[in-house]
Amino acid sequence: KILVTGACGQLGTELVMALRERYGWERVIATDVYDANDKLMQKGAYMKLDVLNVRRLSYVFERMGVGQIYHLAAVLSASGEQNPEAAWQINMQGLLNVLEAARAQRVEKIFWPSSIAVFGPESMRAACVQQSALDPTTIYGISKMAGEYWCRWYYNTYGIDIRSIRYPGLISYSAKPGGGTTDYAVDIFHKALEEGHYGCFLRDTTTLPMLYMPDAVRGTIELMEAPRGQLSVHTSYNLAGLHFSPRELATEIRKHIPGLTVSYHPDFRQAIADSWPTGILDLEARRDWGWEPQFDLETMVTDMLAHLKNDVHQIDVPVE
Ligand code: VAH
């Protein structure tokens, strides 16, 4: 069985659907802290599971015969700055609980998402390489940096096969993000279609690394299916897709929705965005497991609008 924590989140929703498609819906157990999720329950098991409940984690891993875990449960950067204690508990203690329960139950493979949020003011600004200094300024980024080293410690100490990707901002049409600094890049599409205007919480010139969800999901599964011996990175792989500023994204969307107007009102998330690199280099992912993004700004915008215009059922991700 493959168990996914944080299955109701922006990445979780899409990964569960892709994993069920690829491995069979009966093999994938979606879990999250919420009582239920009708979309995820349509085609497969959904269980309420709080990663802070250690006893329940071990019980579920053992009873359900869990062989692989995608541990996605986390509080994102913006929410984490507003609830630092909760972010640390869920992101850090949650990861440690999962790692220890997985070790005890001999789970064979674990995926855990890190983020470009591990980089900061002392890291490389553009073309930030795998080996760049980490310098997280958010509780979220600190928990992801510490998590990377915990994952490597479990790999070195117990030989557990843990694999990880430092995701850029994820852009998706199936599930809205919750509490991220890069969420503007999803919100703008909905507002452009619904109202023709978007009030952006970042400055128009704020360039950030981004990744379109179909690329993110494919890359994650490619990493998880790569031969273990090929993998040289045991903290977390840099992964780059595309990068753009709110102004560039708005200009591209206007090719489809000419009347779109955008106003800019930077808030507390501007300082978080300013601490992150404007671009990422992912040579190790390309070398070790053949990573190659397939979407650029033009094709991503076209695909996003095509799906949203078809009014693909939106799941509102419950935000803490
Ligand atoms: C966030 N979407 O904004 C997440 C991600 C790099 C950004 O970690 O917190």
Write a three-state SS string for the chain: CEEEECCCCHHHHHHHHHHHHHHCHHHEEEEECCCCCHHHHHCCCEEECCCCCHHHHHHHHHHCCCCEEEECCCCCHHHHHHCHHHHHHHHHHHHHHHHHHHHHCCCCEEEEEEEHHHCCCCCCCCCECCCCCCCCCCHHHHHHHHHHHHHHHHHHHHCCEEEEEEECEEECCCECCCCCCCCHHHHHHHHHHHCCEEEECCCCCCCEEEEEHHHHHHHHHHHHHCCHHHCCCCCCEECCCEEECHHHHHHHHHCCCCCCEEEECCCCHHHHHHHCCCCECCHHHHHHHCCCCCCCHHHHHHHHHHHHHCCCCCECCCCC
Residue 153 identity (one-letter amino acid):
W
Residue 87 identity (one-letter amino acid):
A
φ/ψ of residue 124, rounded to 5? -65, 140
Q: Can you state the angle between helices 10-23 and 213-225, rounded to 10 degrees?
A: 50
Cα of 10 from ligand 1 centre, angstroms: 11
Note the pLDDT tens digit of each residue in 102-112.
999 999 999 99
State if residue 169 touches ligand 1 by the CB under 6 angstroms criterion: yes
Give the pTM. 0.95
Q: Quick one: residue 240, left, alpha or beta (phi over 0 = left, psi -120 to 50 = alpha)?
A: beta
Cα of 320 from ligand 1 centre, angstroms: 15
User: Mutation test of ligand 1: which of 10, 11, 13, 77 has the most ligand atoms closer than 8 Å to its C-beta?
Assistant: 77
Which residues are designated catalytic?
Answer: 140
Note the pLDDT tens digit of each residue in 183-206.
999 999 999 999 999 999 999 999
Cα of 243 from ligand 1 centre, angstroms: 14
Kind of pairing between the strands at 161-167 and 197-200: unpaired
State if residue 275 touches ligand 1 by the CB under 6 angstroms criterion: no
State if residue 241 touches ligand 1 by the CB under 6 angstroms criterion: no
Residue 149 identity (one-letter amino acid):
Y
Q: How many C-beta atoms surround the C-beta of residue 221 within 10 A?
A: 17
Res. 263: pLDDT tops 80: yes
Cα of 27 from ligand 1 centre, angstroms: 29
State if residue 206 touches ligand 1 by the CB under 6 angstroms criterion: no
Alpha carbon nearest to ligand 1 atom 1, residue = 180
Beta bridge partners of 244: 208
Note the pLDDT tens digit of each residue in 38-87.
888 888 899 999 999 999 999 999 999 999 999 999 999 999 999 999 99
Cα of 9 from ligand 1 centre, angstroms: 12
φ/ψ of residue 243, rounded to 5? -145, 145
State if residue 10 touches ligand 1 by the CB under 6 angstroms criterion: no
Structure tokens at 67: 């062989």
Residue 256 identity (one-letter amino acid):
H
pLDDT-based confidence at 208, cuts 50/70/90?
very high
User: Mutation test of ligand 1: which of 115, 119, 317 has the most ligand atoms closer than 8 Å to its C-beta?
Assistant: 115
Whole-Å CA distances, 44 to 173, 198, 282, 299:
21, 36, 34, 31
User: Mutation test of ligand 1: which of 13, 91, 134, 140 has the most ligand atoms closer than 8 Å to its C-beta?
Assistant: 140
Res. 316: pLDDT tops 70: no
Cα of 11 from ligand 1 centre, angstroms: 11
State if residue 182 touches ligand 1 by the CB under 6 angstroms criterion: yes
Whole-Å CA distances, 136 to 144, 244, 310:
9, 21, 39
Note the pLDDT tens digit of each residue in 9-47.
999 999 999 999 999 999 999 999 998 888 888 888 999
Q: What is the pLDDT of residue 41?
A: 82
Res. 292: pLDDT tops 70: yes
